[in-house]
Amino acid sequence: MTVDINSKIKDIYNTRVGKDLLDKILLQLGKGSEYITNPLVGNIKLRSIQKLVGRSLPDSFFDALLTLVNSDQLTDKEIQEEKRQAIAPVEHAWWKEAVFYQIYPRSFCDANGDGIGDLAGIISKLDYLEDLGVNALWLSPIYDSPMDDNGYDIRDYRKILTQYGTMEEFDTLLAEAHKRGMRLIMDLVVNHTSDEHEWFQKALTDPEYEDYYFFRDKPNNWTSYFSGSAWKQFGDKYALHLFSKKQMDLNWDNPKVRYAIYDMVNWWLDKGIDGFRLDVINFISKQEGLPDGDETIAKMMGYCGVERYFYGPHLHEYLKELRANTFDKYGAFSVGETPGVGMNMAKMLTGSQRKELDMIFSFDVLESPGHSRFDDYQYDINYFKKYMIDWMKHYGNNCWMSIFYNNHDNPRMVSKIGEPKYNTQIKKLLAGMQMTMKGTPFIFQGDEMGLENYQFNSIDEINDVESKGYYKELCEKMSEKEAFKIILAGTREHARVLLPWDGPFKGQKADPSILHFYRNMIKLRRQNPVLVYGDFRVIDDLAEHFVYERYDDQNSFIIDCNLGKSIKKGYFPEGYHQIITHNRHPEMEPYEIRIWMKG
């Protein structure tokens, strides 16, 4: 169905992409979906929406929205297939059964003592990881790079960063991981390259290469994620960079670019790696002509231009082509990093019958409604509950989700919840839920040690390109002290402090009781396929309580979680015994978790 300015809000909400967009807007405004499903609002025509918001919105706002909604043109046959697959039995796959562990090489383990993590350090900790029980590793970028964005700015895809080690060491790492039954996936950063990459250097002078990137005589109004315009001047031309000034966006509309990327991907797959995590992969297709972004959306989202590329016109086509030319030939796994993508878009990206991606990371779970990463606020773990229930119930059996609380781009979840008195309980609660819900868990390095945010004292301790740019921007509007407070709330640096392997590092200390708990939970998950493939059912999700069951014909686990500070009555299922946790008191402690097993 095609929608236009005379369509009612509920008609837009009834389309797949329209639902995701409106949900995203509501989330941004901190409102629930009841707001739209309420008939008073639902029956308003799009053109009359001004009345609702009490101010006028420019046509460009509606045009941008309608373009996206109408860009979804699944055929009836595809829709039928999606419905059929959603209730078909879940297909088995190693990556559904795996427990992943993300390594951020720079801050994982430093073997040669220069203060920077390295490949030798990772190799030295493989036994530790095996002992922890994880059986798949995701390596953030280790490629040659000028390190403007810690390696997400790649200069040479086929070389290892000298600071990290050599290709021989990489080969050893891969072989040693496989020896231990661990899969290894790499980071694939192909929305952009470093400005020092050979292609970009050639593009500056050689017309053959100019079309590898986006060069324009005049910049449009898009902004970069790392402050300021998304355009950098080179001579009399400007080149597009959605991220840092040294990360130039590749032009995927040029088939030469796409096939050069596929060659490189296959070069790594030939080495025997097991798949990739695909960096901001939903940004690769930009709307033709790179039209200006809408200012209203820009204000809402904090970045200008997003709606022109976060779900671009050729995204599905390019992902299918990428997969057919690379991953599928090797049976390799793919997980996309896809900021801004909602559940319906995710279904189209990951439905197994569509052959695009195997899984995605959906980020709307990481901040409570109405908040963004740099807000100093307390994350509501009951929002996490609501979000996970929704996805576990509605994502469908042919789609598979990832379960994670943070990564190298986010402060640690436990600190965001912000109840220091209960941190030990909260860390166990998070681990317990992560290992018993439906989806593939991704542990971020240090979570298992119980690490929290780091108390930086000054901006000089922060190396991250995003934080540095944002701090400068903030200082134009406020005092340095106020600016630093905002940086402290959201900086990615929290997740980039070297792990404290031998006693405290920079004041951070590992907590052995948390490590022990993770080990037990990971073991439980890996020994019980019902925790992977079993059904999910909510027993109680009232107030700050969360009781759920994972079950199949023979097995059942019941997980009882207190998601708040008040004492709750525990749930005592008959015919079950408690495992891993041992508190039989009728009342549950703040943030306590209990794991019950049938039999």
Rounded Cα gap, residues 300 and 306, in angstroms: 11
35 C-beta neighbours (distance < 10 Å), count: 16
Residue among 146 and 339 whose Cβ is closer to ligand ISL: 339
Residue 123 C-beta: closest distance to Ca ion, Å: 12
Structure tokens, 204: 């500056």
Catalytic residue status for 337: yes
Q: In the complex, which residues of this chain contact ligand ISL (CB under 6 A)?
A: 149, 152, 189, 225, 243, 279-280, 337, 339, 408-409
Instruction: State the DSSP H helix or E strand holding residue 231, giving kind and residue range, or none if neither.
Output: strand 231-234
Q: Of the two residues 16 and 277, which places its CB atom closer to ligand ISL in the complex?
A: 277
In the complex with ligand ISL, which residue's Cβ is closer, 85 or 338?
338
HSE on the CB side for 480, CA within 13 Å? 5
Q: How far apart are alpha carbons 451 and 579 in whole angstroms? A: 25
Residue nearest to Ca ion (CB): 118
Structure tokens at 301: 């989202």
Residue 294 binds: one of Ca ion, ligand ISL, none (C-beta under 5 to 8 A by kind): none
Give yes or no: 110 in active site: no
Supply the minimum distance, in Å, between the C-beta of residue 295 and ligand ISL: 17
Q: Which partner, ligand ISL, Ca ion, none, binds residue 114 by CB below 5 to 8 Å per kind?
A: Ca ion
User: What string of DSSP letters covers 446-513?
Assistant: TGGGT-------SGGG---HHHHHHHHHHHTTS-HHHHHHHHHHH-GGGGGSPP-SSS-BTTB---HH
User: Taking CB within 5 to 8 Å according to partner kind, which of Ca ion, ligand ISL, none is near residue 225?
Assistant: ligand ISL
Q: How far is the CB of 407 from ligand ISL (least distance, A)?
A: 7
Q: How far is the CB of 277 from ligand ISL (least distance, A)?
A: 9
**Residue with smaller CB distance to Ca ion, 172 or 266:** 172
Catalytic position from the list 337, 409, 452, 549: 337
Closer residue to Ca ion (CB): 110 or 549: 110
Closest distance to ligand ISL from the beta carbon of 297 (Å) = 12
Instruction: Look at residue 386 and give its three-state secondary structure.
Output: helix
DSSP alpha helix (H) spans, 114-203: 119-124, 126-132, 167-179, 198-203
* 116 contact, one of ligand ISL, Ca ion, none, CB 5-8 Å limit per kind: Ca ion
Torsion of CA 474, 479, 481, 483, to 10 degrees: -10
Closest CB to Ca ion among 93 and 116? 116
Q: How buried is residue 589: exposed, middle or buried, by Cβ count under 10 Å (0-12/13-18/19+)?
A: middle
Judge whether 445 and 104 are in contact, CB under 8 Å.
Answer: yes
Strand 247-249, strand 192-194: pairing: antiparallel
Site residues, Ca ion (CB under 5 A)? 110, 112, 114, 116, 118
Least distance CB 301 / ligand ISL (angstroms): 7
- What does 243 interact with, of ligand ISL, Ca ion, none (CB < 5 to 8 A by kind)? ligand ISL
- From the list 149, 195, 249, 279, the catalytic residue is 279
Q: How far apart are CA 93 and CA 97, in angstroms?
A: 7
Which option in Ca ion, ligand ISL, none does residue 409 bind, with CB closer than 5 to 8 A by kind? ligand ISL
Rounded CA separation 177/116 (Å): 21
Distance of alpha carbon 348 from alpha carbon 385, whole angstroms: 24
Give the active site residues.
Answer: 279, 337
